[in-house]
Amino acid sequence: MSTAEPWTIGRLLNWTTDYLTSKGSDEARLEAQLLLAHALNCQKIQLYTRFEEVVAEDCRAKFRELVKQRASGIPVAYVLGTSEFYSMTFEVNSNVLIPRPETEHLVIEALDRVKSRSGESLRILELGTGSGIIVVALAKHAPKSTFLATDISGKALEVAQRNAAKHAVAERIQFAEGDLFAAVPDGETFDLIVSNPPYVAQSERSMMDAQVIAHEPHVALFAEEEGTAVLRQILEAAADYLNPGGWLLLEFSPMVAQRVAEIAQKTGRYRQVSIGKDLARLDRYLVAQKAD
């Protein structure tokens, strides 16, 4: 292909796909589409009907810079500054984790509990909210409920607050900086507590994607050597903050699922303890109800 040939959308996508593949990307075509749609300020799906359109130099320059960042190893979500979760678009940056689709199961389970209460106004707590994807998604789909979301990182909370404002639910979410329950006001209790806490064992570090290690915040990823320290802390304390019959929902690594279930049972403070599976049929989250 000669350099004199015009840089159409189709040509840019093909070249960039090959280039990102050579840099080790497993989703090079998708990433090329996302980056080009961002540079052109259009929806990804619109690219399919514009393959023969020649891209102006200023947009190509912007696109080149985005591709350069991605090729350097920066995750595409951080390059774009956004990520999709539960069919919603959220701001993300290096102060927060990139949303994983597995976490949508927590939202689904939580909303099932809300619906089981016939649309009552529930009080819901999220521990370690990060970018706010869980609490914002819940607030969007449980409009009668109110929320408290805590995080140890002030910079993460700034992202969460912007996401709450973006999705027009900020008036029903309080954000508080602190480690887990330390940020909860004395005496406050909840109908539901949900958390996707740090649960990656230090021993698993060598098995993780190098880009995750290099770019995502370690404080939101790693627990101690076995990965259950924070989960145990939540399980042992959560019942004190739950109303009678209230529910606790926790995400974790499939590698620690059995231990988490055992910890929950040994506290003697929960009933109906169950482990749910993600779409890959891996044990991914715990659901437990406070015992009366």
Each residue of 121-176: pLDDT tens digit? Answer: 899 999 999 999 999 999 999 999 999 999 999 999 999 999 999 999 999 999 99
User: Which among 248, 292, 260 is positioned nearest to 109, based on CA atoms?
Assistant: 248
pLDDT surpasses 80 at 274: yes
Superfamily of domain 96-290: Vaccinia Virus protein VP39 (3.40.50.150)
Nearest to 31 by CA among 59, 56, 66, 55: 66
Check residue 227 and give its pLDDT: 59
CA distance 218 to 28: 26
> Is pLDDT above 90 for 197?
no
Name the pLDDT band for 256 (thresholds 50, 70, 90).
Answer: confident
